Amino acid sequence: MNDEAVTQIRGLGVSPGIAVGSILFMESAELEVPRRRVHSEAVEDEVKRFTEALTQAEAELGTHRDQALDLSEKERRIFDAQLEFYRDAVFREAIERRIRTDRVNAEAAVKDQVEHLVAALSPAGGIYAERNADIFDLGNRLQRVLLSRGQSVIEKGAGPFILYAKELLPSDTMSLERGRLLAIVTEVGGETSHMAILARAFGVPAVTGIRGLRNSVAPGATVAVDGSLGIFYPSIDLKLQKTLEQRRARFLAEREKLVKQASSVSRAEEEAGVAVLLNIENFDGLDLDLLRSTQGIGLYRTEFLFMGRSNFPSEEEQLRFYRGVLDQVGPREVTFRTIDVGGDKPLEYLNTPKETNPALGWRGIRLTFKWPDLLIPQLRALLRASVHGNLQILLPMVTHIEEWFEARTLLEQLKDDLKRDGHSFAADVPLGVMIEVPSAAIAAADLAQEADFLSIGTNDLGQYLFAVDRNNVQVADLYRPIHPVMLRVLRNILDAGQAHGKPVTVCGEMAGEPMSALALLGLGLRRFSMSPAHVPEARWIFENYSLAEARALVSPLLAVRTEAEVEESLRRAIEDRSGPSGRVCLLPTR
């Protein structure tokens, strides 16, 4: 039997790697929530029972977080988001009010409030749906404390397992026996889901969007997961099992080798001035040797400074924060993106209207122009911090050139204000535009003529260009970052930057993924900003291809019509250069 004859189920790969093992089904410990009438004289006792349960649930969650020592701060913030709910006075008071007003028991009040919050957030989709996972999870934890019930359970098994669940909540994930966990398969989830983030942190393959296995796969059956391709194998023969295990061994060996080499500057960086920069939101878990080997931070996401709190950070607090970042990076550049909230990244304390399609709505620079109390303190703090390092300011979600003019005018006004207030700042702080909207890509020449630099957010640009939600498994395959259409759009932006002598950086996932990094190198991109996790693969590309080789490879691809032709050419080039064994950690395996 050949590989193609074996049944495959394609889902969405959210954590790379390959695993073969026995499938175990997570059985939810179903909670039957009682509803009973509470007599008036017992209402305050019921409120007290709820507040005690809230305290216990918060303590349990805090313990989970504190024990997750191998997770980065970003990953632990999954639990911080839930802790904020437990500490939120509005959440607590809403449940207490239900107990007192409706005269119901604490369990029923919690259930009603959770359902109310979920119903309010569900129509928005996106990250709001992930927020619903938080709400469900904290509601379940509260109910289990109130009802003295245990956590969701996994069918018992003696050895390692591939876990299958409808949806994996954060508390479920942290309760797993990670020493036995080989891979995760779920029905529900996305690339930014908590399950995906934690699976990548644990280093286990994960695929989502796989439905109906309980009726077709027996518990304990040998199955396989390819998280790189997003494929689940509900049954495998010995030949395929051997092939997958060989791929897995090569993946692990090559990955270890690449990681060791990641802190070394590549040939293209040394010979052709290619710049490798990092996308980060903090320094937690960041290899400082890796940081020192780069040109700096190409995208610092400042919105995380505004999250997990109950109010806006002051100008002075922001100044201390930005100065601390500059001190950490030293003379290398740091590009701070102004706060990019709204749409798929809401702030709990920023009341914005519910939108039918938030991804196309009030977010990024659109929102902050309407909230000057949010934007002005940040710009003032960034200007004041500019005397302490090599600082640049990046504007997100710019739609047309009028927004650029408005931002530049505001920045100049703030410089005048700071001068009157006696504050120092660099007179020539670069102000750049993030191109992630098709209208901005089309107007790239106009924007390049005015802005000090351009940064391309390929994640959003690709989604808007192809009208695709990448986290929607039904259409995720239509998101095609190396499609000839995307390459032509990128070529147009790079030409605009070159014509006006303005640097252009790609700070989306394309910058670090091997085939797309090679394509970008061939298109003429010289500034690649990426997640630290992607540096090993990108630097392999930069070490193994000269600019001339990349240009000769990619130039003909602008004239082809299908993504398959582009992928075939890039894949063959990488496989030829990587040796006969192939590099399964560089390329998705077929």
SS3 label, residue 258 = helix
Q: Rounded CA gap, 45 and 48, in Å? A: 5
Residue 400 annotated in active site: no
What three-state secondary structure class fits 18?
Answer: strand
Lookup result for tokens 């390459």: 487
Closest CA to 109 of 97, 117, 119, 120: 97
Catalytic residue among 64, 194, 483, 534: 194
Say which of 483, 507, 534, 585 is annotated catalytic: 507
Instruction: State how far the Cα of 372 lies from the Cα of 445, in Å rounded to an integer.
Output: 28
Secondary structure, 3-state, 436-470: CCHHHHHCHHHHHHHCCEEEECHHHHHHHHHCCCC
Residues 67 and 47: their CA atoms lie apart, in Å, by 30
Between CA 357 and CA 89 the distance in angstroms is: 29
Whether 388 is catalytic is: no
The residue type of 296 is G
Cα–Cα distance for residue pair 284/407, rounded to 1 Å: 31
Give the whole-angstrom CA distance, residue 449 versus residue 500: 6
The 3-state DSSP class for residue 363 equals strand
Cβ-based neighbours of 97, under 8 Å, separated by 6 or more? none
Please calculate the CA angle 166-469-137 and round it to the nearest 5 degrees.
35
- If phi > 0 it is left, if psi is from -120 to 50 it is alpha, else beta; for residue 316 that is alpha
User: What is the Cα–Cα distance from 226 to 206, expressed in whole angstroms?
Assistant: 8
Residue written as token pair 């061939």: 522
Residue 382's nearest CA partner among 330, 425, 333 is: 425
Q: Which amino acid is at 27?
A: E
Say if residues 56 and 49 touch (Cβ distance below 8 Å). Answer: no
Give the containing element (helix H, strand E) for 237: none
Sequential DSSP letters for 548-561? HHHHHHHGGGGG--
Q: Which residues are catalytic?
A: 194, 507
